[in-house]
Structures are given as structure tokens and as C-alpha cells.
A and B are shown apart, each in its own frame.
Chain A
Amino acid sequence: MQGNYFQPELECASREVLHYIQSKRLRKLVERCYNNVPLYKKRMDEFGILPGDIKDIDDVKKLPFTTKQDLRDTYPFGLFAVPREELARIHASSGTTGKQTVVGYTKADIDAWAVGAARSIVMAGGTKADLVHVSYGYGLFTGGLGLHYGAEKLGATAIPVSSGNTKRQVQILQDYGSDIICCTPSYAMYIGETVRDMGIDPQSLRVRAGIFGAEPWTDEMRREIERLLGIKAFDIYGLSEIAGPGVACECYLQSGLHINEDMFYPEIIDPDTGEVLPDGTYGELVFTCIGKEALPLMRYRTRDICSLDHTPCECGRTLVRMSKPRGRTDDMLIIRGINVFPSQIESVLLELGMDPNYQLVVDRVGNLDTLEVQVEMTEGMFSDTVRSLESIEHKIGNALQSTLNIVAKVRLLEPKSIPRSEGKAKRVIDKRKL
């Protein structure tokens, strides 16, 4: 698999070449933003920066940040740098954390995004001979069309299954012989469970790799999916504000996700001060869309928490690697003053051999936050006495307390009682009225 790249001249370019491309594109981007986006002109004027002050990529830190709120305030088309007629496509966020945000692409943007997705499929070991089974939802959500265009760009065969109708997904895996499957990790779990429940040996399926993203997931979850589907599972990263899936992806070494930094320039900042942080330090991931025309966001704050690593990867790529994101700052729970990400709780549960179907219920009783961790019972952990079941609850509670320093009530549920997700799983139910 080593030495397999979609665009080796860019993916394996020297830092000097990347620096040159990034600098050139940044100058063009700043020019475009200043002249075409009123909000950016206003902000740059306030900062006292003119496009000519931005000479190379290192000057990016002089630029103002963009936030999700800016997209909401200018809803729907206010941050676009091209006339509406030049848009080739529009996507939108689900709007689960507030008003939906609308993003647009020119033909060239769609093409660049498809290149990012095609590189990602190749990073996951894909070739043009493969059948790429896309089980992400098609529609305003970027997942389905993103991987679809990536597969076509690569020259592979795309199967636009979309999400839902899980038994049919399994049927297609069996009958068409899909080589690669793409969806959210929680849907991959669901498909894997369905394969098991239908009595199918995962080894009898041709599928060998999965490209999963659009929600945070842990390495423990990865192993569970790999076991259920008999595949190697790769993490892909993207968000609609930047492009969609294909902003970054893991190579076969699975030691971080290679960011397509010739198009999407990343920085890690301290979320409180905005200060740029060095490699290896966790902070908020920020992107500048240096290759984009329609929505060329500068220093967009993703709210995702991760770190960067610029050392070259053994796979031969020089593209900077981001660590697997721990979760978004807005997913972070604050339980009695302690910050915790749902993914950290997931790690603890799977480490203990629990079922990866779990749900977190946060509430406030009096003035105290309470957290209930709900885990489904499996035949493997079930035993006939109340005492041993209570000891499972205590074991989970103690592990959460010692690893994350949080106090949680653990509740065991019957199998399949937590709703399965065909898209992004709803892990947290927050009943607090704040």
C-alpha cells in the first residue's frame, strides 16, 4: 500500500513547496475577501490591515478570526465572495446547535473538495478499481455527495446508497461486493450489528476498509467496528464550512489525519486567548480556506479540539497531521465544574468491555449537575444475580471517577433500547434549563 498517492507532487511536497503554494493562495484569498466580503473589509480595516500587508503564509496570524456566529449573522449568503449565480452548489449544516449555516461552492470549489476526498480514499488504501459504498446521507449534509464526488474523481465506482434501510445496506455489501464503505462511525456500528444479527460472517464480505467521520469517535470504537465488519477503519475529517469530508484523513499508519493543507491551512489556537499554539499542544483547530472561491473563510474557528504534528509521516506524505479530534468545544460537558467530552466517557466504557451503545443524560437537581451514563446490557456481561449487576455499575462508576474525576450514576439498559443512528448519533441528552 505504501507509495500509493492520488497527487504525490502535492501530498509529498517539500515544506518549501507547500509554503510557496500556501503563501500565494493566501495573498489571493485576502485580496478576494477584502474586495468582495463586506464583513471582512470591515474587520481588516478595524485591525488596520490591508491586503498588501499579507506577504506569506506566516502572516495568517495577523488576520481576524471567523466564527460560526458570523455565518449565522450573515445568513444565508452574506459571507459569499462570489455573486450567487456563480455558485455551483449549496449545502447547509443540520442546525442542531442553533440556526443552520449555509455554505456555497463554485465549480472550482467542488472540484478541489472532490480532490480532497479522492486523496482521502487513496489514503485509506482505495484505488480506481474499487466499489465505494457511500452510506452517508445525501442532501444538504455534505457527507454523501462529498465522498461520492471523491470516488468519481479517483475513477472508482461510487454506489450512492445514502443512509437508512440498514438491511439493504448489508444486502448491497453482500451482493455487489463493495470494497470500501463510507458513513458515520455510529452508523457503521449499526450496520455491523445488523450483519451480526443477520447471522452473516463478516469475513465473507468483500469490504476491506471503512472511511468514517462527521462525529468524534474513539480508538476503542474503531476496534469494535473493525471487529464487527472485518475491515480496517479510517477516520476522515471535514466540516461543511471548510468543504465537507476530505479536509483531512488517516493514512494506513493511522497516526493522525493528514490535512490537505495546500487547500485548507490549519492552525491550533488557545480557545480563550486566540494565541497560536505549537505542535503537540491541544487547542482549537482553525482553518483558512486558501484555495476557495465561494466561501473563502479566514481563520475559521472549528471548535474542534486537537493538536498538529508537522513531522513527515512514514507513509511518505509531508502533509501536516492533526490528532483525532477529541470533540467540539460545544459538545463539551461541564459537570460540577469538570470539563468532559463524551468521547472520553466512551473510551472508559469501551476500555471496560461495555457495549458501544451508550447515552449520557445531564440534568440539574437543585443546584447540582448530575450525569447519568446509560449502557446497554449484553449477554456477555449479564449474570443472574443482582449483586453482580450492581458490581458492574460500581465498576463503571469507579472507572469514570478515577479517570475523568466525574461522579456519574450508571444505569444498565436492555439491549437495543438506545435508538440506533443512521447519521450522527445523539449521545448526550441535556435536560438542564440553563
Chain B
Amino acid sequence: MLQNYLPIMIFLGVGVLVGVMPIVMGWMIAPNKPDSAKLSPYECGFDAFEDARMKFDVRYYLVAILFIIFDLEIAFLFPWATVLEEIGEYGFLSMMLFLGLLAVGFIYEWLKGALEWE
């Protein structure tokens, strides 16, 4: 059983290698003549006059929080959907109750305008 996971581990390693090797090759083959203008952040030719890590819209943060809630919900739904045949009507109704609660939360956030971007 666990043996099936060995190729996955190797594949992950190979995947990282595919990312590393071209960069190392590029490093060795490509020219490397840095100067201060080349290494400055790209801003359409202007000098950057402040750090790029600036304030950003709080809605991005809100989306991230909402994502966590919904992603957890999906994590709950996955095993439930897999064994739905076995747990039958009782399991279905229990999950509907849970989904109903989440739907209330979803409608609340919708009406509060958390999903608005203008």
C-alpha cells in the first residue's frame, strides 16, 4: 500500500530538479554583467521612490479568510462524498444541515458586501 507512494516521492524530487537544473544551467551558460540600472526594480524607466511592499486592499485579506473557511468545508465534504452510499440518508441530511449553516454564513457575507469589488 505505502509502496505506491514511493514513485510520488521520487516524482516530487524530479519535479524540483526540473526546476533547479535549467536555472543552474542558465547561471553557467548565460552572461552575467549586472549594473545598478539593470538590477533596479522595473517601473517603466522611472526610479522606484519607495519600497514596493506597500499598503494593499484589505479585501485581499478578506478573500484569504473566506477561502480558509470554504476550503475546510471542502475538506469535510471529500470523505463524506466518498462514502455517501454507505452512510445513506442520515449522513446526507446531517451534511445538508452543516451546509445549510454555511449557506447562512455565505449569504451574510454576501449581503455585508464582502464579495464586492469595485
**A and B are partners in one complex rather than unrelated chains:** no
Q: List residues of B whose CB falls within 8 A of some A CB.
A: none
Q: List residues of A whose CB falls within 8 A of some B CB.
A: none
